[in-house]
């Protein structure tokens, strides 16, 4: 009995799980010298790949036919590669040792080409190095959004509707959450090539993690606002919304929520049909939006024609410097940094295979605002745009996307007057009936991070691609707190601590 208990404790402590269906390794990869986490390390088992998150953590699920003697390989730029049987990965922490480049290899390689010549060879070999064929990719996509109201000031100048007073508007401002986070996670198969317009998606599982209380608060305010409008505004009126020199007309119908007589069978049938249609549209839109996000990321890869990451296809705008050499596995890798010469947007680091001149990793970050707009009291500034792209070599000696991370942060501000005027052309005399006039001074920051990890890639034929039909039949499962059981049995990129700690306060 004691032996069984000891084995069970060891079983969970080492995070090494074996059952009738699958085998899982949960570990953290650490630099053996600095003891710091090693982020974005590549974990390969047979044809499948995984990557450690920014905290060095990963979880890898193996199929039930995996043998304990099969080899698992862990590699990262600048570290010695580990390759050993599954049954030898018994610790919850895996140590990678830094790997120094040999002096003779430095002399042989760095004297051969200038950084500019290396970049030209990168361009020349792009079509040969990267897999532009039609493929089916099993991938995991995580989107993280964070919204923060930095300022919510306003001045009430006039209101002819008593209920729309400062007390009510203050309650509206208090109800708006100052900080709001939203996470969505999707496991899917993506069919297509590097062509943005040639993508199809098959959703397998999806989740949403956010605070639904915020929705309930907005709904309550919306209902109260509608009630005030319906009680104080004529049914045949319309609204003129003016902000500075701009104006827009809104019909009263847009503020009405039509009530249905419970005895009207025809009306109820139509309502149910409309709800069913909206549900179907929600599913279609969820699928389309995820596919669009993935397609936009693919289009922004550095070798794409329309990319804003133009440090390769418009390399003349950048200055390149050789920093050193390192290793990725047994392959020597150039480490080249780039800075803009003039008006270019990005700086960063490229890791380039010395033999085939493929960029196997690119880290980039903007050096100035990507977009900066300010006019008539409105301002919009994208002040952060950074990311990293990692490729892995397949059995056909071509590189496929393994990991892509994009992060953007922006600030939106409004400092201008707003007037909402009720008008009615059927009332004798002046058309103007009621008016709400406020001066707004508000600012909001917004950050977005998209992460994609590709586990498996297989080439497919044009016939397979054309014959696949998208179903668009899935909506994400809502979660008020992160639930690790939701993804049990599936490979995903490990969540960071912020996601693990997220929970809704009832």
Going by C-beta distance under 8 Å and a sequence separation of 6 or more, which residues neighbour residue 358? 122, 125, 129, 130, 352, 391, 393, 399
The answer to whether residues 266 and 259 touch, using CB atoms and an 8 Å cutoff, is no
Backbone torsions φ then ψ of 24, nearest 5 degrees: -130, 140
The answer to whether residues 465 and 471 touch, using CB atoms and an 8 Å cutoff, is no
For range 106-110, the mean pLDDT: 53
Together in a domain, 92 and 188: no
DSSP code, position 319: E
For range 365-373, the mean pLDDT: 90
One-letter-per-residue 3-state SS of 69-81: CCEEEEECCCECC
Which residue(s) pair with 432 in the sheet?
423
Q: Is the model's pLDDT at 25 over the cut of 50?
A: yes
> 47-89 pLDDT, tens per residue?
888 899 999 999 888 877 788 888 999 999 999 999 989 888 8
483 in helix, strand or coil? coil
* Cβ-based burial of 416 (10 A; exposed 0-12, middle 13-18, buried ≥19): middle
Together in a domain, 410 and 265: yes
> Confidence class of residue 174 from pLDDT cuts 50, 70 and 90?
confident
Structure confidence at residue 106 (pLDDT)? 53
Structure confidence at residue 422 (pLDDT)? 82
271 in helix, strand or coil? helix
Residue 382 lies in a domain: yes
**Which residue in 5, 77, 104 sits closest to 333, CA to CA?**
77
Together in a domain, 16 and 147: no
Together in a domain, 18 and 64: yes
Pairing, β 48-51 against β 42-45: antiparallel
Angstrom distance (rounded) from CA 300 to CA 277: 34
DSSP string, 394-458: -TTS-EEEEEEEEEEEEEEEEEEEEEEEEE-TTSSS-SEEEEEEEEEEEEEEEEEEEEEEEEEEE
Residue 351 lies in a domain: no
Enter the pTM of the model: 0.82
> 407-436 pLDDT, tens per residue?
999 999 999 898 888 888 887 777 788 888
For range 141-156, the mean pLDDT: 92
What is the count of structural domains for the chain? 2
For range 267-288, the mean pLDDT: 69
Residue 358 lies in a domain: no
Residue 474 lies in a domain: yes
Instruction: Return the residue matching tokens 């003891």.
Output: 35
> 289-298 pLDDT, tens per residue?
999 999 999 9
Together in a domain, 304 and 171: yes
Structure confidence at residue 128 (pLDDT)? 96
The answer to whether residues 351 and 76 touch, using CB atoms and an 8 Å cutoff, is no
The answer to whether residues 92 and 107 touch, using CB atoms and an 8 Å cutoff, is no
Going by C-beta distance under 8 Å and a sequence separation of 6 or more, which residues neighbour residue 215? none
Please count the other Cβ atoms lying within 10 Å of the Cβ belonging to residue 215.
10
Together in a domain, 71 and 176: no
Question: What's the mean pLDDT when you consider all of the chain?
Answer: 84
Structure confidence at residue 277 (pLDDT)? 62
Provide the percentage of residues in the chain whose pLDDT is more than 70: 85
Together in a domain, 385 and 237: yes
The answer to whether residues 426 and 113 touch, using CB atoms and an 8 Å cutoff, is no
> Confidence class of residue 382 from pLDDT cuts 50, 70 and 90?
very high
Find the CATH number of the domain harbouring 19: 2.60.40.1120
> 8-24 pLDDT, tens per residue?
333 333 333 333 345 78
Residue 183 lies in a domain: yes
Q: What token pair was written down for 240?
A: 């003129």
Q: Is the model's pLDDT at 146 over the cut of 90?
A: yes
Structure confidence at residue 105 (pLDDT)? 55
86 lies in which domain range?
2-99
Please count the other Cβ atoms lying within 10 Å of the Cβ belonging to residue 167.
8
Together in a domain, 10 and 144: no
Angstrom distance (rounded) from CA 136 to CA 447: 30
> Confidence class of residue 141 from pLDDT cuts 50, 70 and 90?
very high
DSSP code, position 476: P
Residue 279 lies in a domain: yes
Pairing, β 179-192 against β 135-159: antiparallel
Q: Is the model's pLDDT at 350 over the cut of 90?
A: yes
Together in a domain, 399 and 485: yes
Instruction: Return the residue matching tokens 């079509």.
Output: 127
Gyration radius of the chain's alpha carbons: 28
Together in a domain, 298 and 399: yes
235 vs 458, residue with greater confidence:
458
Please count the other Cβ atoms lying within 10 Å of the Cβ belonging to residue 478.
10
Q: Is the model's pLDDT at 272 over the cut of 50?
A: yes
Together in a domain, 36 and 149: no
194 vs 277, residue with greater confidence:
194
Structure confidence at residue 119 (pLDDT)? 96
Q: Is the model's pLDDT at 107 over the cut of 90?
A: no
> Confidence class of residue 226 from pLDDT cuts 50, 70 and 90?
confident
Angstrom distance (rounded) from CA 355 to CA 330: 11
Structure confidence at residue 441 (pLDDT)? 92
Angstrom distance (rounded) from CA 62 to CA 49: 11
Residue 334 lies in a domain: no
Structure confidence at residue 108 (pLDDT)? 55
Going by C-beta distance under 8 Å and a sequence separation of 6 or more, which residues neighbour residue 164? 228, 436
Residue 362 lies in a domain: no
The answer to whether residues 103 and 325 touch, using CB atoms and an 8 Å cutoff, is no
Together in a domain, 243 and 143: yes
């Amino acid at each position: 009995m004691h032996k069984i208990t000891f084995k069970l404790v060891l079983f969970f402590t080492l995070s090494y799980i074996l059952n009738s269906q699958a085998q899982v390794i949960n570990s953290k990869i650490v630099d053996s010298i600095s003891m710091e986490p090693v982020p974005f390390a590549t974990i390969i088992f047979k044809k499948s790949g995984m990557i450690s998150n920014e905290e060095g953590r990963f979880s890898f699920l193996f199929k039930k036919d995996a043998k304990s003697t099969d080899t698992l390989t862990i590699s990262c730029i600048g570290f010695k590669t580990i390759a050993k049987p599954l049954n030898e990965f018994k610790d919850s922490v895996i140590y990678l040792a830094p790997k120094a480049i040999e002096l003779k290899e430095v002399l042989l390689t760095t004297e051969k080409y200038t950084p500019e010549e290396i970049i030209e060879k990168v361009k020349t070999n792009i079509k040969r190095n990267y897999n532009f064929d039609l493929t089916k990719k099993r991938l995991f996509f995580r989107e993280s959004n964070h919204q923060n109201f930095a300022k919510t000031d306003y001045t009430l100048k006039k209101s002819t509707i008593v209920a729309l007073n400062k007390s009510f508007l203050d309650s509206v401002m208090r109800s708006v959450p100052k900080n709001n986070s939203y996470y969505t996670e999707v496991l899917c198969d993506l069919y297509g090539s590097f062509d943005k317009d040639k993508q199809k998606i098959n959703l397998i599982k999806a989740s949403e993690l956010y605070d639904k209380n915020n929705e309930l608060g907005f709904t309550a305010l919306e209902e109260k606002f509608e009630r005030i409008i319906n009680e104080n505004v004529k049914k045949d009126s319309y609204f003129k919304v003016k902000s500075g020199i701009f104006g827009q007309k809104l019909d009263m119908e847009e503020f009405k929520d039509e009530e249905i007589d419970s005895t009207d069978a025809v009306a109820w049938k139509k309502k149910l049909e409309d709800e069913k249609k909206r549900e179907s549209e929600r599913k279609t839109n969820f699928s389309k939006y995820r596919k669009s996000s993935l397609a936009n990321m693919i289009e922004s890869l550095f070798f794409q024609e329309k990319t804003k990451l133009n440090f390769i296809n418009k390399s003349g705008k950048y200055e390149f410097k050789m920093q050193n050499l390192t290793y990725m596995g047994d392959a020597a890798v150039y480490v080249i940094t780039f800075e803009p010469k003039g008006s270019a947007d990005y700086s960063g680091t490229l890791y380039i295979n010395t033999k085939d001149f493929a960029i196997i990793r690119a880290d980039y970050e903007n050096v100035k605002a990507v977009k900066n707009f300010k006019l008539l009291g409105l301002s919009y500034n994208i002040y952060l745009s950074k990311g990293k792209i990692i490729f892995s070599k397949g059995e056909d000696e071509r590189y496929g996307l393994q990991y892509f991370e994009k992060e953007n942060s922006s600030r939106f501000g409004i400092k201008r007057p707003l007037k909402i005027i009720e008008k009615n052309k059927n009332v004798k005399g002046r058309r103007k009936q009621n008016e709400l006039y406020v001066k707004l001074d508000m600012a909001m920051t917004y950050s977005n991070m998209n992460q994609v990890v590709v586990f498996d890639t297989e080439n497919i034929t044009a016939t397979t691609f054309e014959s696949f039909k998208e179903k668009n039949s899935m909506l994400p499962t809502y979660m008020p707190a992160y639930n690790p059981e939701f993804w049990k049995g599936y490979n995903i990129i490990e969540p960071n601590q912020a996601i693990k700690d997220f929970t809704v306060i009832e």
